[in-house]
Amino acid sequence: MKTTNWRCCRLLQEDNMTTSKRYDRQIALPEIGISGQEKITAARVLVVGAGGLGCPVIQNLAAAGIGQIGIVDGDVVAESNLHRQYLFTPNDCGKNKAQVAAMAVLKQNPQVKVLAHPEFFSASNAPEIIANYQIVVDCTDDNATRYLINDMALANGIPMVYAAIHQFEAQLSVFNYQDGPSYRCLFPEQTHLNGLGCADTGVLGVLPNTVGALQATEVFKIVLGLVGVLNGKLLLYDALCHGFKTVAFERNLLEIEKGKQKGKLLNDRKAQNRGEVSAAAFFDALETHSHLIIDIRETYEEPRLENRGIHNIPLAQLEHFIFGVAKKQSVILFCQRGNNSRMAVDYLNQKGFDTVFHLSGGIEALDLNLEQND
């Protein structure tokens, strides 16, 4: 089996498909091979927090060639970080962690794409940041952000690789994986209670590095579709006795729904801020006549939406049409795929219309079976 993979490996290099000898040793594993390396190269992973856990996670993901790594952290490097956050040097003190980590890791492996988000992960930026990733890795040091990560992961249907440490102990799990339990299922939110971060309790530098490597291992298992993902299992590690213990936990549908709704609310708010409406909101507006709804496609473009509430005004005639419309009128525009309508929103905004939306993804994103005819 290994021989086959070595041969594949050479073919891979000859074809110049996924690159160089860099990944030979992992491609040699029967569980990875060329197809596995392609999955690693195609993967997009977001790491929230570039501290004790984040640094080893980022280093391990980049070294193995994860295609796109996002790094979120609004904090700056401090001297007290250096004993455990090996991506940073004394010269980096005072600089943003996400940016320094991105630069350092690009030196480590120039083949990966690294995006630095030099800001704290928050309700206002989370929807925008997380939208393009397939896996989110929680390397934060506060539980409020953990609930936010969990809820965004639920709303976006992506797994969350969790780890956290306390002195010589660590916890590790994977949430929202293949409809498995979420962080809220294990720890329902209790706002009056909180854990303690490293600054409060102290930490030996090797512990987050050990645990970050374990987190990265879970990422690879997910990307490669391997067995043994910590789905519905909480791994407990004690560095003093090198004890590993696993406890099982189950889904709590109420907690999952609560998290999903919170995440969706933030996603919807983001969409509204961009002037977008979802398909559901579009049909709702059609039914309630709450907005002036304009189809800006050419009249030959199919499929047509037959509804008395829709005005068919091709883009070229829009300027003339809106001349007679009050500026305070709420408007929803739609086109075939959502591109022209997005530009038309900007145009109407410039003309003084304040409440203008467009249908995200255009008519092609609608499930016309759900259409509400009047």
Q: List residues binding other proteins (CB under 8 A).
A: 49, 51-54, 138-143, 146, 163-167, 169-171, 186-188, 190, 193-198, 201, 203, 208, 234, 236, 245-250
* In the complex, least distance from residue 37 CB atom to other proteins, rounded to whole angstroms: 29
Burial of 159 (0-12, 13-18, 19+ CB in 10 A): buried
332's enclosing H/E stretch is strand 331-334
- In the complex with other proteins, the residue whose CB is nearer, 230 or 348, is 230
Judge whether 185 counts as a catalytic residue.
Answer: no
Residue 111: strand, helix, or coil: coil
CB of 292 to other proteins, least distance (A): 49
Closest CB to other proteins among residues 248, 326: 248
Distance separating alpha carbons of residues 133 and 46, to the nearest angstrom: 6
* Closest CB to other proteins among residues 114, 139: 139
- State the minimum distance, in angstroms, from the CB of residue 203 to other proteins: 6
Cis peptide before 303 (omega within 30 of 0): yes
If one counts every other C-beta atom within 10 angstroms of the C-beta of residue 196, the result is 12
For the bound state, the minimum distance from the C-beta of residue 142 to other proteins, rounded and expressed in Å, comes to 6
Residue 306 region, left (φ>0) first, then alpha (ψ -120 to 50), else beta? Answer: beta
d(CA 139, CA 85): 12
Given 8, 139, 198, 241, the catalytic residue: 198
Nearest CA to 97 out of 87, 84, 109, 108 is that of: 87
Q: Which is nearer to other proteins, 157 or 243 (CB)?
A: 243
Q: Is 198 a catalytic residue?
A: yes
- Show which residues are catalytic: 198, 335
